Amino acid sequence: MRRLFLIALIAGCAAAQLPAQLLQLRITGLDGLAAKAKESTDITLDSNLLKMAGGFLAGADKDGKDGDTIKQLLSGLKAITVRSFEFNEPGQYRIEDLEQIRAQLRTPGWSKIISSQNKNEISEIYTRMEQGKVAGFAIINAEPKELTVVAIEGTINLNDLSKLKALGVPSIPVPEKKGKQE
Amino acid sequence: MNLEEELRTALRREDPSPGFAGRVSARAQSSARPARVFPRMVWAMALAALLVIGFSAAYEYRQMQAERAGRDAVIALRIAADKLNIARERVVRREMPASTREN
* Amino acid (one-letter) located at A48: N
> Is residue A88 a part of any domain in this protein?
yes
> Where in the sequence is the domain holding A67, given as residue range(s)?
26-163
A148 in contact with chain B, both atoms CB, cutoff 8 A = yes
The three-point CA angle A179-B84-A17 to 5° equals: 85
CB A150 within 8 A of CB B76: yes
| pLDDT tens column, A56-112 | 887 765 555 667 778 888 888 999 999 999 999 999 999 899 999 999 999 888 999
ipTM: 0.76
Q: B-contacting residues of A 152-181, CB under 8 Å?
A: 152, 158, 161-167, 169, 171-172, 174-175, 177
- State the total domains in chain A: 1
Q: A182 pLDDT exceeds 50?
A: no
Residues of B in contact with A148 (CB under 8 A): 79, 83
> Is residue A13 a part of any domain in this protein?
no
CB contact under 8 A, B87 and A125: yes
| pLDDT tens column, B18-36 | 888 888 888 877 765 555 6
Residues of A in contact with B65 (CB under 8 A): 49, 52
Question: Which among A116, A148, A161 has the least Cβ separation from residue B77?
Answer: A161
- Rounded to an integer, what distance in angstroms lies between the CA atom of residue A153 and that of residue A80? 6
> Is residue A159 a part of any domain in this protein?
yes
> Is residue A9 a part of any domain in this protein?
no
Q: Which among A120, A119, A44, A32 has a CA at the least distance from the CA of A82?
A: A44
CB contact under 8 A, A56 and B70: yes
* Band (B82; pLDDT cuts 50, 70, 90): very high
Query: Measured between CA atoms, how close is A131 to chain B, in angstroms?
Result: 23
CB A86 within 8 A of CB A37: yes
